[in-house]
Amino acid sequence: MSIRRSLRRACAPVLLGALLLSFLPGTAHAAGITDCPRGSICGWSGERYTGTMTQLRAGAGCVQTPFPIRSAANTFGPIGIPAVAIFYALPGCAGPSVGSVGQSSSLPVVSPPAISAMLVW
């Protein structure tokens, strides 16, 4: 058996696995502050805009976050209706606020992490 044929046989399962993985549904990916679309309020699972990112719907009222928010950004610009997110460490937007983001602002560290947010216009 030639070296070329042996190499093909050894690499074929790896290449097939990589090809199959490319067709699996995507999972949440690590994101940075630049991944927050313009006109959005975004929260991250890690401090300084690391980890998984979620978009929070402006004007939705009090919402439970999908995971503890450890950093946040508001990419709504200065023109238009102001969008604000106020973060809370307790469910139901209870207790004191642990941080907020107004238009064109960000919060690199939310401490303690927020598990609910008041999203208002």
Tens-digit pLDDT profile for residues 58-87: 999 999 999 999 999 999 988 888 999 999
Phi, psi for residue 60 in degrees, rounded to 5: -80, -10
Residue 98, pLDDT above cutoff 50: yes
Q: What is the pTM for the complete model shown?
A: 0.74
Residue 15, pLDDT above cutoff 70: no
Mean pLDDT across 15-35: 48
Residue 45, Ramachandran bin (φ over 0: left; ψ between -120 and 50: alpha; else beta): alpha
- Among 9-18, 39-48, 66-75, 109-118, whose mean pLDDT is lowest? 9-18
Classify domain 33-120 at the CATH topology level: Gamma-B Crystallin; domain 1 (2.60.20)
- Among 10-14, 107-111, 116-120, whose mean pLDDT is lowest? 10-14
Residue 6, pLDDT above cutoff 60: no
Domain boundaries, the chain: 33-120
Confidence of residue 9 (pLDDT cuts 50, 70, 90): low
CA distances for 110 relative to 22, 59, 79, angstroms: 35, 21, 26
**What is the C-alpha separation between 32 and 35, in angstroms, rounded?**
5
Residues 6+ apart with CB under 8 A from 58: 40, 41, 76, 83, 85, 119, 120, 121
Q: Strand ranges (DSSP E) for the chain?
A: 41-46, 50-56, 61-69, 71-74, 84-88, 97-101, 105-107, 114-120
Q: Which residue has the tokens 């690199």?
A: 108
